[in-house]
Structure 1
Amino acid sequence: MARLNHLVVVVPGIGGSVLQTPKGAARWDEHRRRFVAAATRPGRLRLDKHPDLVPVGLLPDITLIGPFVVPGYDRLVRQICNHFDDVRVDVSRPGRAPDTRADLVLFPYDFRQSIQHAAERLAADVAARLDGEHTGARRRRVIVVAHSMGGLVARYWMGPLGGAADCEALVTLGTPHRGAPKALEVLGNGLVVGRKRLVGLTRVLRQWPSAYELLPRYPVVGRPAGDAPLKPSELHAGATGGASFAKQAKLAFGVHEDIEETWTRLHQRPDGPEVTAVFGRGHSTLQHALLSPSGLKVTKDSADWLPNPDWHGDGTVPAISAIPIEQNDRRARRAVPVRHMALASSSVVVDILAEYTGEPLDSVRGDTLDEPWLGLDLEETVLSDDPVPVGVTLHGAYADEWTQVRVRARPHDGPREAGAGTGWLPCAEASDGRWLGHLPPLDAGSYTVEVSATGLPVVSRLSAGDVLGVLDPETTDADTDDDQDGDGDGDGDA
């Protein structure tokens, strides 16, 4: 096996970092208590009351915390450590000296804060690790692997903060380079699961600068009477969450402009960092919004003014948004048949890192998927007393009279976290070519939803899956910040 030739830094997506209070009490991690606390006491994550949470690690596995399905990174770390020789791993933590001999650095950050805030910490951490190396040795020394919002953090460090000189390459995994309509849905209309509107969590999320920085930076809002579509930053206060939304959206758009300006210059330089955008395609994903007198409706339907409508996305980020705005080289992007959370541990990362131990990046494939795959239409979270609709689309394959498509759910975190799941249940082919099925109501917890298509001509069998969070509607979003343990910090944790 080869050794890593670079300092590889893993930057997680929103929700992917473990956060603690300065006293060491966990506020956001994979523990069962945090799942309950995030659902029942959302005020624990308020930025105005708790501005100083400390990032101490990355979440290990895809899991359910409150109403959020969040990514995990242990599998990615294991893949890198298993492929390369003697990988030394270090976790960046504020106030702790870095291990300057580390090959692989895990960089958690407070994902509530702005991406600039996280990028400044990233700049300081990398500088400390490269301190003492002469200019020639540190030039293009770093490769960043960034999932989701982590890619925006990395691009801000490399662009506006000047980190590109130290960076050989950036690999982004489902990063919303151009934003995601899902952020517009949550910030504009509020966080909704099933029929339940999560008022407390919506109020908390609307405090986070990072949430606004995930808004689309392109015209995504259609208007009646054929008027030109709008960017979220151009919406008037009455169309969304009020004056605060309008102000924060404009500030967030300015951040994207700063990134675009510097990266446009970097892209024109022959010695600039190489960027590989890895993105999911073919899964039903929120695509655009429609503005009407009754409000803002965000939909999964394709918009006739946006390009590549058949690309869809990874279930969270549209495929067209997961490619940097300055990037036109197809060799520098890879489409993969997985959904957003699974992108955090995509095996394509090891393939790309291996190329930097010998082979040039020219061997990276373009955006054509080599094999047929299944696209899913599945919500991230549902309520425990509602049935779960599942949509399946065949990509690169076709059905005949022998084809069967089935779906099942099994506990993702073991029997303590969820009920028994289901057996295999049939899906029926609809008139639009999709296959539709329903899972019965599930107990609260997290589940792996698996889909299997068999009897397909040529390819025989295809499968896909994702994690589903199921919430108890009676205990979710109590909208309190009670100090239940009496320690004065309002977290309820002793």
Structure 2
Amino acid sequence: MIVDVKDLIVVLPGIMGSVLEKNGRVIWNISGKSFLKSITSSEDLILQSDDHDDGVVATKIMEDFHIVPGIIKILDGYTKLQEQLLDGSLRLYPQSPNNQDLVNYYEFPYDWRRDNRISAQKLKQFIDERLENWRRQSEHKDAQVIILAHSMGGLVSRYYLEVLEGWRDCRALITFGTPYRGSVKAISAIVEGYNVAVFNFSEAVRSFTSVYQLLPIYEMFKTNGGYRRISEVDGIPNLDRERAVKAREFHQEIINNAEKNRRHDDWKTNGYVVLPFVGTRQSTYQSASLIDGQLQMSYNPPSSLPPELADGDDTVPRISAIPVEMEYQDYYNTFFPCHHGEIQANKNVLDLLKERIGQMQSQIDLSGFKGAERSAKAEAQIAFNLSVKDLYLSANPIEIYGQIINAEPSVTQLIAQIIPKTTQGEPITVELQPDGDYWKATVENLAAGVYEVQLSTPEIEVTPVRDLFEVA
């Protein structure tokens, strides 16, 4: 059955997920390419200030895989999401040369370097204009917007919804791995930077206001006095504490307005639904500390977090992928054991996404569609944990680590398939061997380029988990 979508659908990518141009020249497009070979200078990307206009514009979202080792790894780009939404099961009208007016499917690229407040203001203008046009052209006078946001795109959306009062026009915010409370991994991006071979991306990354707004806002930095917020700690190398404080204010502004909005008389009739898709079961940094002046990242959770919740999607901790105001509610199960860069392209996620969008077009009660919580069913799910580094030097072996969780009887075979993405060659299949708490395989002599790795077992039916790495 084809579902007639009366609402406006808007898709937002995550950080580094939009193509950027300056004066008509592409300065950022790593879609389907090796980062190290496609970007040779970061000078044009360095953010001098948060003025709205330095000549850089976002032109489209990334269609294919893209990787910046140590910062982001995105499988399939946003093409699979687009293909699933436009496969005909939902009656959507994308913009095309033959259809400029009757449009209810849009993608919103944005300048991901900047303060997310600026992108949110542009999103408001974008939605206001297009939603009014759709209501007029389609005669769906009660149409609202459904926002689909990956990663940092969810923070842009939340500011638009809560602070800029977009909630009055929104039916649902559906997020894929959004770091509502920040990501511990962002600390490493700022402190350690990015310097490989002759290419130094560190100055550019540290200049991005958005990267600071990805810092965790909860107590997870271990000090002699216990765990503290990153914005409360002095002396962290290369990290500007004043900018960290301002970044936390961005999050607090959203939290404060969310609390206020939910007390508003109109919320009961005009409030929107939040549906967070949460990646789990992957090894994910939970805390950090300074030892002899050096940053130490850790998978150990801060003392206030139960160990059974100390996982995530390899980038966003589980605890951060759910909005603050939803932490004590009962939610539908939207946990999926997959990586941050796959969750927006995961078949199981996309199947459920289309089902939920379809349900939103009917008159059924949506009060239950609120998000994700740890449930008995989710925790008993058979799942893989796949761990590879983002970047390997060609002289070093590739080490692949895996686990299978909740498999009874015990699985005796784990298989990794390595698929070249930027080089010629056939996929390589290797068998992992038990290695303590993990399974491990070592691969040598891979040519420089980007590779996808899939972890599976032939013994039981369970969805493989996927990730990317680059060889330099």
Fold match (TM-score > 0.5): yes
Are the equivalent residues in 2 in contact too, given 1:385–1:442 (CA < 8 A)? Answer: no
Moved more, 300-309 or 212-221: 300-309
Q: Please state how far the C-alpha of 1:35 moved relative to its aligned partner.
A: 5.6
Q: Please state how far the C-alpha of 1:316 moved relative to its aligned partner.
A: 0.9
- Structure 1 residue identity aligned to 2:281: G
Q: Please state how far the C-alpha of 1:9 moved relative to its aligned partner.
A: 0.8
Q: Distance in 2 between matches of 1:344 and 1:382?
A: 25
Which residue matches 1:235? 233
Distance 1:387 1:87, change over 3 A: same
Q: Distance in 2 between matches of 1:445 and 1:289?
A: 30
Q: Please state how far the C-alpha of 1:31 moved relative to its aligned partner.
A: 6.0
Which residue matches 1:122? 123
Report matched runs for 1:431-470 at 5 Å. Answer: 431-432=436-437, 434-455=438-459, 460-470=460-470
Which residue matches 1:79? 84
Q: Distance in 2 between matches of 1:186 and 1:57?
A: 25
- 1:145 matched to 2:148? The reply is yes
Are the equivalent residues in 1 in contact too, given 2:41–2:199 (CA < 8 A)? Answer: no
Q: Distance in 2 between matches of 1:423 and 1:391?
A: 16
Deviations 1:446-467 (A, max 9, x none): 2110212233xxxx24352324
Report matched runs for 1:310-389 at 5 Å. Answer: 310-327=309-326, 328-331=328-331, 334-345=334-345, 346-347=349-350, 348-358=352-362, 359-361=364-366, 364=369, 366-367=372-373, 368=375, 369=378, 371-389=381-399
2:258 corresponds to which of 251, 254, 263: 263
- 1:254 matched to 2:257? The reply is no
Q: Which runs of 5+ in 1 are unaligned?
A: 92-97, 473-494
- 1:102 matched to 2:111? The reply is no
Q: Distance in 2 between matches of 1:70 and 1:201?
A: 19
Q: Distance in 2 between matches of 1:171 and 1:336?
A: 15
Which residue matches 2:412? 403
Are the equivalent residues in 1 in contact too, given 2:392–2:471 (CA < 8 A)? Answer: yes
Q: Distance in 2 between matches of 1:2 and 1:223?
A: 54
Moved more, 317-326 or 380-389: 380-389
Q: Distance in 2 between matches of 1:388 and 1:267?
A: 50
Q: Distance in 1 between matches of 2:463 and 2:442?
A: 17
1:62 corresponds to which of 40, 60, 65: 65
For this pair of structures, how many residues does the alignment match? Answer: 446
Deviations 1:71-112 (A, max 9, x none): 511111111111434421149xxxxxx955211110000111
Deviations 1:263-295 (A, max 9, x none): 122344423211011111100111110233433
Q: Distance in 1 between matches of 2:184 and 2:445?
A: 28
Are the equivalent residues in 1 in contact too, given 2:417–2:428 (CA < 8 A)? Answer: yes
- Structure 2 residue identity aligned to 1:211: V
Q: Secondary structure at the match of 1:427?
A: strand
- Structure 2 residue identity aligned to 1:431: G
Report matched runs for 1:187-226 at 5 Å. Answer: 187-191=190-194, 196=196, 200-224=200-224
Q: Secondary structure at the match of 2:86?
A: helix
Moved more, 175-184 or 65-74: 65-74
Deviations 1:416-471 (A, max 9, x none): x2253663222122333x2222232422222110212233xxxx243523242324
Q: Please state how far the C-alpha of 1:301 moved relative to its aligned partner.
A: 2.8
- Structure 2 residue identity aligned to 1:418: T
Q: CA RMSD in A?
A: 2.8
1:393 corresponds to which of 396, 400, 403: 403
Question: Percent identity over the alignment?
Answer: 25
Q: Which runs of 5+ in 2 are unaligned?
A: none
Q: Distance in 2 between matches of 1:351 and 1:313?
A: 24
Q: Please state how far the C-alpha of 1:140 moved relative to its aligned partner.
A: 6.5
Q: Distance in 2 between matches of 1:24 and 1:293?
A: 44
